[in-house]
Amino acid sequence: MKPKVLAIDDSRTIRELLRVSLEGAGFEVTSAEDGVDGVSRFPDVAPDVVITDINMPNMDGFGVIDAIRKGAVNSTVPILVLTTESAPELKARAREAGATGWIVKPFDDTSLISVLKRVSGA
């Protein structure tokens, strides 16, 4: 069975890029367009790994991590944060919130897949 990725990003472009890259690497990708959408899809998708953007309307990436780690979902699934910034304080904040790792935008396929494999083992 293909490993499942839940990709949450409000940018259609990034969602498409993730889909193409990840499907090419043998993942099954479900996209969500903001935090609320992503968290609500989580139970049905039961992903092996979550990739989430930080800056999003309705619910941001920190909200997503919070909802998955605590709240109703309460899961320790690996969560990768997609960031444009490589600012250390942002990474620290994401880690504190419960993120497993991060991918810095713009990402290339190779590093995306390697990071994904590193945290999910998929």
Partner 1 sequence: MSINSIRDTFFEECEDLLDALIEGLAEMSGGSYEGETVHAVFRAVHSIKGGAGAFGLNQLVGFAHTFETVLDRVRSDQLEVDPELMRVLQRAGDHLSDLVEANRIASEVDEGTHASLLQALNGFLGIDPADGEDGGQEEEFVFEALALDLDLQDDIGGQTDGYEIRFSPNPALYANGHEPLLIFEALAGLGSLEVAANTTDLAPFADLDWKAPKTDWIIRLRSSEPEHLIDEVFEFVEGLCELSIEAIQTDPPEEAAADVPDLDDAAPDGGADPTPPAAASAPAEEAVKVVDLAALRTSPADAEKKQEPKAANGPRPTLRVDLERVDRLINTVGELIINQAVISQRIEEIGLPSGSGLSTELEDYKLLAREIQEGVMAIRAQPVKPLFQRMSRIVREASDATGKAARLVTEGEGTEVDKTVVERLADPLTHMIRNAIDHGLEGPEQRARAGKDAVGTIRLAAFHRSGSVLIEITDDGAGLDRDRILETAVSKGLVPAEAELAPGEIDNLLFMPGFSTAKEVSNLSGRGVGMDVVKTAISSLGGRVTITSRAGEGTTFSIVLPLTLAVMDGMVVKVAGQTMVVPISSIIETIRPGPDELHRFGVDGWLLSIRGSYVPIIDVATSLGRGVPDADVRDQVLLLIQTEGQSHCALAVNGISDQRQVVIKSLEGNYGHIPGVSAATILGDGKIALIIDPDAVVANSSAALRRVSDPRPEKEIANGAAG
Contact 62, 38 (CB under 8 A): no
Note whether 29 binds partner 1 by CB under 8 A.
no
Establish if 109 lies at the interface with partner 1 (CB under 8 A): no
How far is the C-alpha of 82 from the C-alpha of 103, rounded, in Å? 5
- The SS3 call for residue 33 is coil
Residue 118 makes contact with partner 1 by CB under 8 A: yes
Closest by CA position to 49, among listed 94, 99, 13: 99
Min dist CB 26 to partner 1, Å, is: 17
Question: Which position among 3, 28, 66, 73 is part of the footprint of partner 1 (CB under 8 A)?
Answer: 73
C-beta pairs of 17-21 under 8 Å, 24+ apart in sequence = 18/51, 18/112, 21/107, 21/109, 21/112, 21/113
Q: How many residues interact with partner 1 (rule CB under 8 A)?
A: 51
Position 67 contacts partner 1 (CB under 8 A): yes
46 binds partner 1 (CB under 8 A): yes
Residue 4's H or E segment, with its range, is strand 4-8
Give the residues lining the site for partner 1 (CB under 8 A): 10-14, 16-17, 19-20, 34, 36-37, 39-44, 46, 53, 55-58, 67, 69, 71-79, 84, 86, 92, 95, 98-102, 105-107, 118-121
